[in-house]
Amino acid sequence: MKIVVLDGYAANPGDLNWGELKALGECTIYDRTAPDEVLGRAAGAEIVLTNKTVINAGHIDALPELKYIGVLATGYNIVDVDAAKAHGIIVTNIPAYSTASVAQMVFAHLLNIASQVQHHSEEVHKGRWTRSKDFCFWDTPLIELRGKRLGIVGLGHTGMATARIALGFEMEVCAYTSKSLLQLPHGIKKMELDELFSQCDIVSLHCPLTDATREMVNARRLALMKPTAILINTGRGPLVNEQDLADALNSGRLYAAGVDVLSQEPPRAYNPLLTARNCYITPHIAWASSAARQRLTDIMLDNIRAYLAGKPANNVAK
């Protein structure tokens, strides 16, 4: 059985072991694959694994031996699932592997913004504390999270994990979610979307990217937010109209934003958020802790073994 990994570097840049995957068959692992290399590299493979390399209908039509596509991520929009289903090809994803790590990144951004950790550390290294007349110094607002209202858009695995952390900080937690009131844990209040944007001190995005959610954060919704509010996006870059967010930050209509995802990655040099006021950006690393990537690898192997046993798991092409 031939197995091909099209872009293994992000999930495993060398700190994890591919040994168990290699034991399952003739396995070739590529760090990265360009679009025009997909067919040549996947030719003859029964199993193809991909993280961000697109597998479209044309590829599927041209790969008659292909029986299984494993997406090394939770989102699977990079695969033409309808085409795969028409050919009887199983498509699996990796659900919930990075829940704890992404929720942690939400609060890494939030705590950095609230306590200005990065800024004050940089100022200390510039000598400002050394030159201080007092035993301490600060030159930005320092915000206590206790009692602040956090609005979570999308209460799936990561949204719920974020809510639990927030409750530990004694924050008020609100959510825009399809869950009924009876399904919500104690301490979480259900809100409509515009109500959440207008009433919450922090809004954190955890919803999937769909036609309905694309650029849901736009000039109109940003205008609803308090000028002291903070936006956090560890979900999907296109949930946000980046020019509208940059305008809101630069004009002071919004206090700050912390984002781990952008509409195009890597970003173009002219992305307006790169120079926006009080915009803190990490390079899509919320998912990438070693623990999360090990879970991803373990679930990937479980998915393949389930397929080989004739009992596919996490099949999104049913």
> Looking at 26, 125, 265, 305, which residue is catalytic?
265
DSSP output for 75-132: --TTB-HHHHHHTT-EEE--TTTTHHHHHHHHHHHHHHHHHTHHHHHHHHHTTTTTT-
Q: b/e for 25-51, b at 16 or more Cβ within 10 A?
A: eebebeeebeeeebeebbeebbbbbbb
Question: Does the annotation mark 26 as catalytic?
Answer: no
> Looking at 87, 164, 214, 284, which residue is catalytic?
284
Residue 266's CB is within 10 A of a number of other CB atoms, namely 9
Q: How far apart are the first and last CA of the chain?
A: 23
Residue pair 203/229 in contact by the 8 Å Cβ criterion: yes
Task: Find all residues with CB under 8 Å of 258, minimum gap 6, and list them.
Answer: 109, 110, 112, 113, 230, 231, 232, 233, 280, 281, 282
Tell me the β-bridge partners of 79.
Answer: 55
Nearest CA to 106 among 286, 298, 275?
286
Question: Does the annotation mark 265 as catalytic?
Answer: yes
> Looking at 236, 242, 293, 295, which residue is catalytic?
236
Residue pair 2/25 in contact by the 8 Å Cβ criterion: yes
- The conformational region for residue 129 under phi > 0 = left, psi -120 to 50 = alpha, else beta, is alpha
Annotate 3-46 with three-state secondary structure.
Answer: EEECCCCCCCCCCCCCHHHHCCCEEEECCCCCHHHHHHHHCCCC
Structure tokens at 162: 């974020």
Question: Does the annotation mark 41 as catalytic?
Answer: no
Give the catalytic positions in this structure. Answer: 236, 265, 284
